[in-house]
Structures are given as C-alpha cells and as structure tokens.
Structure 1
Amino acid sequence: MDIPSRIRNCAKLSGTFTLRSGKVSDTYFDKYRFEAEPTLLHDICQAMTKLIPAGTEVLAGLEMGGIPIVTVLSQVTGIPSAFIRKEAKAYGTCQYAEGTPLQGKKFILVEDVVSSGGAIIDALALLRADGLNPLCAVCVIDRETGGKETLAEAGLELKALHTFSQINKE
C-alpha cells in the first residue's frame, strides 16, 4: 500500500475540526497517529529524503509535530537535527533552538502538516531576528489552504511530500 493510503487509513478523521489557522474542516489528519506508527513514520521519512536540498547541514524540526519527523529523518539521512520551540524557554539554556547549533549552517525547517503556514512563519521570525535563514521548509502534508503561498510571500519555499488532495482521495 502506498504512503498516502497508509496515512489516510491510519490518521484520517471525519467530523468538525478547528485548525490552527482558525478555519474549520470536516476532515482532519491526526498527525500524531501516523507519527506514532514506527514503520509508517520510517517510510515517510525515507520518502522525504528527496525533498532535502543538496548541502543541507542541519534538519530543524518545529515543536511539536515536526520533532518526531525530524528525529527519524535525521536517522535516515545521517544529517544532524535541531529542535525549534515556539518560544525560548525561561530556564536552563533559555533558547528557542535546541540540539545542533544553526549559526553558520545550511539548514531546513521540518514540519508535519502545513495549513496556513503560521507555525513556520512564527519560527521564521525568531530565526531571522537572529540572522538565520533556512534554505526551505519541508512537510509531510500540505493541506492546500494557503500555507505554501504565505510562505512564498515570506521568501521561503515549501516542499511537501504529499498534498491534502493526494492523501484524501479514496
């Protein structure tokens, strides 16, 4: 069975769901369900390797859904990873970026599902304030609800393994 069918079988929910963007959808892909299936997650990450630009030195996963993906993607590729928080923590190192340092490195952002692109835009603001610019962003599913266009307007390309249309078709 192909990856879109496996994601659909594992993670597609029907009902009424409010997305991060505030939009309401009758279909929701519970990313934590496909991220919790080890074989499926591995296969997703193996397929995502083709989205990574040559010369990438660090894979930076966004809190929280991007963390399992970036961890396995790092294992599959051998490229070190970093973990981007929504905001700097108020204790310990007080950083918003953990793991492999990003300064002076060619890095990409890794996310699970992109709807409006808001989480990536928020991370991008933190990164750019520190003079850091990712090569691109990659995700498992682009919901095709404006995120790719919003990111393009912000000067960041989004590369998706699959679109909502591909995952949702029966």
Structure 2
Amino acid sequence: MTPTALGPLAARVARAACVAAPFTLPDGRVLDSYFDEYRLGADPQLLHDVAAALALLVPEGTEVVAGVELGGIALAVALSAATSLPAAFVRRRPKNYGSHRQVEGADVAGRQVVLVDDVVRSGTQAAAVSTVLRTSAALAVHALCVVERPLGGRELLAEHGVVLGALLHERDLPAVAKVAS
C-alpha cells in the first residue's frame, strides 16, 4: 500500500485513536499526545482495515503472528484472520498460575514469527518480547506496528536483530490527531 493510499486510513486511525493529551512513558518522559489502541480495537471496521493494510507488510515466510500483551492482542487476532496465519500471544511476564506460560496460542518453536504491537516508541517492550519469543525457540527477527514514534525504537530493535515495519509514522498523523481530541 502506497503512502497516498494510506492517507484515508491514516486519517481514520488518527480520528479514532490519536489523543492530544499528556501521556507518561514508563521512563517518566511525558508526551503531548498518544495512540489509544483500545479505540482502534473497539472499532471493528477500522481494526479490519488496519489488519488488511498490515497484512501487506508481513514478511514472506512468516508462520505465526504474535501479539504483545495487551496492545498487540487485538491486532494479532485481526492480522491472523487477514492472513490465515496462526496467532500467538505474549505476556510481559509468565502467568503465575495455571500453565505458567508466557507465550500462549500457536506453537512458536522453530517457526518464523512476526511480532505485532500497536505503537513502537523506545522499542524496549518489543525488544524484550522478541527475547521472550527467542527463548521459546521462535525465529523472531521481524516486528510490525501500527504507529512508529521516533523515540529510538527502530534503532534499539536493530541492535537486537529485529527489523521493524510500521504501517504509519507519527508524521503521518499529527494534523488529524489534533482534530481528534
């Protein structure tokens, strides 16, 4: 999908899920706006259309799409439906009861897995989850996100041997995002 073709989808994503309000990152930095993945996931048609666009970015040879708890779960399910690839779901920490698993759903061992998340900012979470997947014997060298914010994530992921594909970049959204609030 070309950037021109993404224009209408970017506008819909911005209207639905970009919020012009303070947002505190885990490291304490405060952003003036944020992407609310729950608003995207709550709109079935928009989620479907985003998954269809993300499907075009899934690297050849991918065998499993893996969603990051919690923002990537709805995306992984929708992307699984759009691509007919099985889905896995990755917790930040192993479940402390029952199965005690950190990776649920499809078996990832020995399979090419693409990590899916809503936003990549610093890349810390995606890098950690790629390590979890690799510990589970997955071949995890690709990640996809709906929005990339230029806060070093692409570079950190590259240091971890993960190639990031982004449907949209922060620069694609600001004018519409300001209207959204």
Q: What is aligned with 1:151? A: 157
Q: What is aligned with 1:10? A: 16
Are 1:120 and 2:126 an aligned pair? yes
1:64-143 matches, cutoff 5 A:
64-143=70-149
Show CA shifts across 1:66-110 (max 9, x none): 000000110111000000011111222111000001011111101
Q: What is aligned with 1:45? A: 51
1:21 offset after TM fit, Å?
4.2
Show CA shifts across 1:35-91 (max 9, x none): 211000100000001111111111011100000000011011100000001111122
What are the ranges of 5 or more consecutive residues in structure 1 without an aligned counterpart?
A: none
How many residues are treated as equivalent by the alignment? 170
Local SS of the residue matching 2:22? strand
1:128 offset after TM fit, Å?
2.9
Q: In structure 1, what is the Cα distance between the partners aligned to 2:40 and 2:89?
A: 20
Q: In structure 2, what is the Cα distance between the partners aligned to 1:82 and 1:21?
A: 28
Q: What is aligned with 1:28? A: 34
**Partner amino acid, structure 2, of 1:44:** V
What TM-score, normalized by structure 1, do the two folds share? 0.94
Contact 1:21 1:116 in 2 (8 A): no
Calculate percent identity across the aligned residue pairs: 40
**Partner amino acid, structure 1, of 2:53:** A
Q: In structure 2, what is the Cα distance between the partners aligned to 1:128 and 1:104?
A: 9
CA-based RMSD of the aligned residues comes to 1.4
What TM-score, normalized by structure 2, do the two folds share? 0.88
**66, 86, 106: which one pairs with 1:60?**
66
Bigger mean CA offset, 41-50 vs 115-124: 115-124
Local SS of the residue matching 2:139? coil
Q: In structure 2, what is the Cα distance between the partners aligned to 1:104 and 1:129?
A: 11
**Partner amino acid, structure 2, of 1:98:** E
